[in-house]
Structure 1
Amino acid sequence: MKTWLKPAASLLVAGTLIAGGTFVSGALNAPVPVYADGEMQKNVVTVVGSGELSVKPDVAYLSIGVVTEAKTAKEAQSANATKVAALTKLLKETWGIADKDIQTGQFYVQPNYTYSEKDGQQIKGYSAQHSLEMTYRDLTKVGQLLDAASAAGANRIDNIRFSTENPDQYQDQVIQKAMNDANKKAASIAKAANRQVGIVLSISQASAGTPVFSQNYKMMEMAAADSAASTPVEPGEIDLQTTLTVMYELK
């Protein structure tokens, strides 16, 4: 899954790249060329450079829920609340998850229906659901955590997402890769046209979001104690990516 690096401010600086502490060597003091009207477009080349870096995630975001059915809405809600309270206690006291890393993601109580040609649609009972959104940082124990949650009453996982909490630490590397790619493309184009690449005239970086790799367990129901083996969960790697649009002078 391709994801994007947290955006830095777009730049439009004559002869200079400054982004996350990165700059183009030798461009800082270069003079800005002056062109007559219409000449500018004849003496520039614009390319898009891509940079990508694969890193190991350092955080998991989990959505774990409890669904309970009963004859009445009150019974369903009450029974579900008891299970969620036990699950929350387990997560905090046994697994050391802080209050700030647990919050309610979804809660509802709704009727369940049956249908027959004779009686039409009839309410057969009620379902209560309460899901918890969690942040967990020991990625080696995510599978064990899911097993423990299942044993405590959780019977639904909406999804598991892996990410990095500090993408800024990789920003310079990804931007440098994108700049290197842009330099190569510009050089190839200039060579094909029997020209030479001059100074950088402008740079802009594409907007992006937080990098996330998702293992989607949407609508998956967990069966407690169905297997003695720990639930296998592999965090894999996440791809940080950015693009730079760079305009160069052509000599």
Structure 2
Amino acid sequence: MRKTLRLLTIALALAAPLAAQGPRPGGSEAKDVEFSILTVSGTGQARVAPDQATVRLGVLAQAPTAREAQTQVNRSAQAVLDSIRKVGIPAERIQTTGLSLNPQYAQGRPDQGPRITGYQASNTVTVLVEDLAKVGPVIDAGLTSGANNLDGVEFGLRKDDAARAAALTDAVHSARIKAEALARALRVKLVEIVEVAEGGVSIAPPPSPFRGKMAMAAEAMIATPVSAGEVGVEASVAIRWRIAPCPGDGPCS
């Protein structure tokens, strides 16, 4: 686990007076009680191995007519789907996430507008891979069967409860260290925690090494090596302590 400390927000605020309940002996009302608050934020991080990956593969084709372009893409996309299923990926983990068909233009003579020179069709498939050993084979199966665009591999977590808890624990520890350091510098003591607010938990996958790269010709390919690395889980908290001044010049117990 690696700790990441961010800039903290410190607020010393005077809380609203607390009225005592009931009169004091002798008939006089209780005086208002005032106390000060120290607010400190903390951040924490946990790094864990991912347990799933998302692979995006695409087929792109150009042809003189829209029908030809779409037919080429349909044929290649079906071959890609069949190949990915043969790797052992269930059909429900494979989803078509992009379809497009657009005319291609060329600039004509000055007295004419742009003219259509052909059509470009595309089909993008997103594959959820829960066995990380199959990420490379899925990529290879797609590229060798007709995919000519690899739009990235993103690693993530299906079960992230333990990582989230570890990041939150680290964030609380960070906030406490800051509060204790500030208390020493300000010569006050931390009396009790009056409020804890979670700032949120985020999961940052490692950057994809494949995004935006075009596929090589199938006959020139070798097996695609894939390293999953680690997924970072970050959390932040804000904690408010009631504080009291240290007595005189003596130690603050």
What interval of TM-score do these two structures reach, taking the shorter chain for normalisation?
0.7 to 0.9
Q: Which residue of 2 aligns with 1:108?
A: 100
Q: Secondary structure at the match of 2:200?
A: coil
TM-score (norm 1): 0.78
Q: What is the rounded CA distance, in whole Å, between the counterparts of 1:172 and 1:219 in structure 2?
A: 34
RMSD (Å) for aligned C-alpha atoms = 2.1
Tell me the alpha carbon deviations over residues 160-182 of structure 1, each in whole angstroms, 9 at most, x when there is no partner: 11111121122221111111111
* Residue of 33, 42, 60 corresponding to 1:67: 60
* Residue of 34, 41, 44 corresponding to 1:39: 34
* Residue of 170, 184, 187 corresponding to 2:180: 187
Determine whether 1:87 maps to 2:117: no
Q: What is the rounded CA distance, in whole Å, between the counterparts of 1:224 and 1:233 in structure 2?
A: 19
Q: What is the rounded CA distance, in whole Å, between the counterparts of 1:154 and 1:67 in structure 2?
A: 8
Name whichever of 195-204 and 215-224 sits farther off.
215-224
Check 1:99–1:228 CA distance in 2 against 1; reply closer, same or farther (3 A cut).
Answer: closer
Q: Which residue of 2 aligns with 1:131?
A: 124
Q: Which residue of 2 aligns with 1:239?
A: 232
Give how far 1:208 is off: 4.2
Q: Which residue of 2 aligns with 1:202?
A: 195
Give how far 1:122 is off: 2.1
Give how far 1:224 is off: 2.4
Give how far 1:227 is off: 3.3
* Residue of 170, 176, 183 corresponding to 1:177: 170
Tell me which of the two structures has the higher relative contact order, counting C-alpha pairs closer than 8 angstroms and 6 or more residues apart: 1
Give how far 1:116 is off: 4.5
Check 1:38–1:98 CA distance in 2 against 1; reply closer, same or farther (3 A cut).
Answer: farther
Give how far 1:117 is off: 4.0
Q: What is the rounded CA distance, in whole Å, between the counterparts of 1:107 and 1:38 in structure 2?
A: 67
| Unmatched runs of 5 consecutive residues or more in structure 2 | 1-16, 20-31, 245-253
Q: What is the rounded CA distance, in whole Å, between the counterparts of 2:232 and 2:187 in structure 1?
A: 36
Does the CA contact (< 8 Å) of 2:55 and 2:129 recur in 1?
yes
Greater C-alpha radius of gyration = 2
TM-score (norm 2): 0.77
Q: Secondary structure at the match of 2:225?
A: coil
Aligned-residue identity in percent: 27
Q: Secondary structure at the match of 1:214?
A: coil
